[in-house]
Amino acid sequence: MRVNEIFYSLQGEGFLAGTPSVFVRLAGCPLRCKWCDTKYAWDKKAGTHYSIAKIVRTVQRWPCKFVVITGGEPMINLHLPELVQKLKAIDKHITIETAGIVFIPDLACDLMSISPKLSNSTPAEPELVAVQENSRLDIAVLRNLIDNYKYQLKFVADSQADLPEIQQTTEKIGNVDTDKVMLMPQAGTRDELLAKSPMVADMCKSAGFAFGQRLQVLLWDNERGT
């Protein structure tokens, strides 16, 4: 598998925020979100080739139960089911961070952490807009993911104008447990995070969604490997 990086930190986002976790960042993502903070992982070849056994050995360097498989977009990797199975075999708790654009059945995944991409992620470059628009949101895939896995839905909110789109998206998916939905401020820096947090907190209170922290930005200003 093409691995961009493996490191130990705290889970920064979602309902497990603050939990010490080993992150396995796989390479490759077909989307081109304009505010993506892992652009270095877009390229499928961005990283080093690891066998699954070597990934598992590397993860075991840290005495930590929680493993987060992220990217890029890990669900496009054909070897993901085997990696998850091998990590489960050593009793890891596995979160998969995904934009929710691909469904894979029967993964031994403890938490499907889904971050559907809204129109606020549309890239500025005209040549990338069509790529993004055609693939960023697949309602049938999202529905399959929430029907088949323990999940959380994390929406990135950039302005108050995003709230109707977020609500329409959850309605279109259907069967969404509101308690599992959170809004996170769109923020590449600590200053941006602190500036947008009160606005997103108000959006959460008005819609009944949870406020999603981004500890990697708050604590380390989004430095790589955190």
For binding to ligand SF4 (CB under 6 A), which residues are involved? 29, 31-33, 36, 38, 71-73, 99, 117
Burial class, 26, CB count within 10 angstroms (exposed 0-12 / middle 13-18 / buried 19+): buried
Q: How far is the CB of 156 from ligand SF4 (least distance, A)?
A: 8
Closest to ligand SF4 by CB, 56 vs 162, is: 162
Q: How far is the CB of 208 from ligand SF4 (least distance, A)?
A: 25
Closest to ligand SF4 by CB, 1 vs 56, is: 1
Closest to ligand SF4 by CB, 25 vs 56, is: 25
Q: Give the pair of three-digit tokens for residue 191.
A: 């200053």
Q: How far is the CB of 90 from ligand SF4 (least distance, A)?
A: 27
Closest to ligand SF4 by CB, 56 vs 116, is: 116
DSSP-derived letter for residue 65 is: S
Q: How far is the CB of 146 from ligand SF4 (least distance, A)?
A: 18
Burial class, 19, CB count within 10 angstroms (exposed 0-12 / middle 13-18 / buried 19+): middle
User: Per DSSP, which regions of the chain are E strands?
Assistant: 2-10, 20-26, 48-49, 66-70, 93-98, 111-114, 151-157, 181-185, 210-211
Work out the angle between the directed axes of helices 139-148 and 162-173 (0-180°, nearest 10): 60
Q: How far is the CB of 43 from ligand SF4 (least distance, A)?
A: 11
Tally the residues of the chain.
Answer: 226
**Amino acid identity of 223?**
E
Closest to ligand SF4 by CB, 67 vs 76, is: 76
Distance, CA of 175 to CA of 143 (rounded, Å): 8
